[in-house]
Amino acid sequence: MREHHDAEDSHPDVWTGRATNRVQWLLALVGAACLALGIALAVQSAWTSGIVPLVMSVVGCIAAGLLVLYGTLAFVHVDLILDQDCLEVRCGHVGVPRRRIPLSDVVGADFIPHVTPRHWGGWGYRWRPERGTAVVVRRGEGIELSLWDGHTFTVTVDNAESAVRVIRSRLRAGAAGSAGSAR
C-alpha cells in the first residue's frame, strides 16, 4: 500500500504513510477485560445485596470496557493519504476520526524529528490552544502543517521527510499554477 519514493524519483500521484503503536493493543486488552468482567457479573451474579449495586457494577464495567476499547483501537494506527488536492488523515481500523485538509489551505510543511505524546498531553486526536491540533499515535517523526488560518496540524507518520518533500513540491506546483493563470 505504500508508495514512498526516494528524493530522485518523481513524486507519486498518491503518497501514503502510516504510523502504528503496538502498545495500544495492551490497553485494548484491558478494555476487553473490563467488558468481560461486566458480562460475567451480569451472567454469574449471586449477589444478595440488591439489584442496584449489581446493575451499577455491570453497567460501569461494560461502559469502561467499551470506552477503553474504542479509545485505544481508534488510535492503534494512523493512515496519511496525500493526493494532488488534499491530505487526509484516518485513525484506527474504522478510519474515524478523520480529517481532510485541502492543500489550498496549507501555507507550509515542516519535518518534526521527535513528536511525543508528552508534547500534546497524550495519545490520540489532540488540541492545544498554543500549539494547534495533532494526531499522535506514537513517538517519533511527524509532519507539521501550517495552515492559512494561522493554526497548525501535526501528525506522526513514518517517513515524514518524504511526505514533507511531496507536500512542498505540490505547494510550489500549486503556486506556480495559480501565478500562471493570473496572467
Q: Look at residue 102 in the predicted model and tell me its pLDDT.
A: 95
Host H or E run for residue 140 = strand 140-147
Q: Look at residue 156 in the predicted model and tell me its pLDDT.
A: 94
The answer to whether 15 and 85 have CB atoms below 8 angstroms apart is no
Q: How confident is the model at residue 183 (pLDDT cuts 50, 70, 90)?
A: very low
Q: Look at residue 179 in the predicted model and tell me its pLDDT.
A: 55
Measure the CA–CA gap between 36 and 62, rounded to whole angstroms.
8
How far does CA 154 lie from the centroid of its chain? 9
- Report pLDDT digits (tens) over 107-165: 999 999 999 989 898 888 899 888 899 999 999 999 999 999 889 999 999 999 999 99
How much is the pTM?
0.74
Q: How confident is the model at residue 5 (pLDDT cuts 50, 70, 90)?
A: very low
- Report pLDDT digits (tens) over 29-87: 888 999 999 988 888 877 677 788 888 888 999 999 998 888 777 788 899 999 999 99
